[in-house]
Amino acid sequence: MASAAVAGPGDQDADNASGPDASYDIPDQYENLDELAATGGGRDGDNLDTIRRGGEAQPPTASASKAQAETRASSLATQLYTLSYLVFFSIFGTLARIGLAHLTTYPGAPTIFPTLWANVGGSFIMGFLVQDRKLFRQEWGTPIYHELLQRARAKTGDEETAERSSIDLAAAKKAHLATKKTIPLYIGLATGFCGSFTSFSTFIRDVFLALSNDMVSPDLHGLAPSHRNGGYSFMALLAIIIETVGLSLSAYIAGLHLGSALEPYTPSISFRFTRNVLDRLFVLLGWGCWIGAVVMAIVPPHKNWRGTAVFAIVFAPLGCLGRFYLSLYLNGKRPSFPLGTFAANVLGTVILGMAWDIAHSTSTGGVLGCQLLQGVEDGFCGCLTTISTWVSELTSLRRKSSYIYGTVSVLVSTALMIIIMGSLRWTQGFAPMQCHP
């Protein structure tokens, strides 16, 4: 189990596991979630390649494994809690992304692709969550990392003792980071909210719209932009890529720094409260909100917000869960190239391109068909693809692997989007959308 792979300080693991606050029983594949395996962006220590290949992880003792197996929560309950958090936070992240896009679309806006704000914000939050060691300080009920930190700071003496304390503290940090992956609430925040708040497919769509000169500024009030030559369009394409990737990476690193700076002041979430209250509450909230969204999409009145938001949150959990399972089963296949995230981003980009073409063709199925397609784009594709996980992987992989992975992701997705959207744009042209009655 992934939870069993956490290296603890000697025999203390067995003692902790045998207490009333035992760890969650997490499936082995959870270690393939790169939001949870991120190393904090350091180039000198362990990176994502090393972690996936086994790194320096130590196998648990037989007594520790037996004690954990006897007391940990059931795997079925843990998976239910995890999926419930993912459903809820995918809905919340989608609404936050749509709302922020509307807030940042106004005449004179310095950027005319508003999803940039969500991508930067989600990457920033992801960086904070990866670096933070206080929110989930209690871990499985016993704050092992916090106790080791206090012990290491209290140690004084010769150089050898100081060096040993530094090594112990570094190992404790790695162990705490690994432990967080066993907590459903953390998975919900990192994979669910940050992954759904950001959108790789929308980023690639904006890249194509910049290339084809179809990105409409709010200052034009819906009018088509003036004609420009291909050189300017290529510069616009580069601008979208440079701004999105550069600012998202910078925001992720800033989040890491903030997590370190606020460590002395960040409150901790009680393990018992999380286990006994939040986990069970979010089972009701997650599935209840999803069912409520479906009912709102079916039952009149069919106002404009149905096409803008309701259909999006109906499809959002499907995209988030799809990305979650792709990461579980594919990210571990090739340590230097996260196949799960790559597949999710490319697949979501392809689906968004096809939905865009259908919505902008002459036969869209009327208002309802247009609203459904808009929901697929903003909800399913927006949550299936992610920028926050992508930039987390870029900072965690070895430098060569990072450049290869990032470049291939952008080039393949852009090429497919040019084929899909370009086949309509440069033949029949994009027809106006009819999503409102």
Q: Is the pLDDT of residue 172 over 50?
A: yes
Residue 222 gets the label, from left (phi > 0), alpha (psi -120 to 50) or beta, of: left
> Cα dist. 359→42, 352, 375, 435 in Å?
44, 10, 11, 9
Query: pLDDT of 359-409, one tens digit each?
Result: 988 776 688 888 899 999 999 999 999 999 999 999 999 999 999 999 999
Residue 362: per-residue pLDDT: 74
- In the numeric block, which tokens belong to residue 240? 């979208």
Residue 11: per-residue pLDDT: 38
Residue 133: per-residue pLDDT: 83
Query: pLDDT of 82-141, one tens digit each?
Result: 999 999 999 999 999 999 999 998 888 888 888 999 999 999 999 999 998 888 877 655
Burial 334-364 (b: 16+ CB within 10 A, else e): ebbbbbbbbbbbbbbbbbbbbbbbbbbeeeb
On the 0-12 / 13-18 / 19+ scale of CB atoms within 10 A, 243 is middle
Q: pTM, whole model, 2 decimals? A: 0.84
Backbone φ and ψ for 225, nearest 5 degrees, come out as -70, 160
Q: Where are the alpha helices (DSSP H) in 262-336?
A: 271-273, 279-298, 304-305, 311-330
Residue 21: per-residue pLDDT: 44
Task: Compare 352 and 163 and report the one with higher pLDDT.
Answer: 352
Q: What's the whole-number mean pLDDT along residues 65-70?
A: 47
Residues of the chain with pLDDT > 70, as a percent, come to 71
Query: pLDDT of 231-283, one tens digit each?
Result: 899 999 999 999 999 999 999 999 999 999 998 898 888 888 988 899 999 99
Q: Which residues have C-beta within 8 Å of that of residue 197, sequence separation ≥ 6?
A: 93, 94, 96, 97, 118, 121, 122, 125, 388
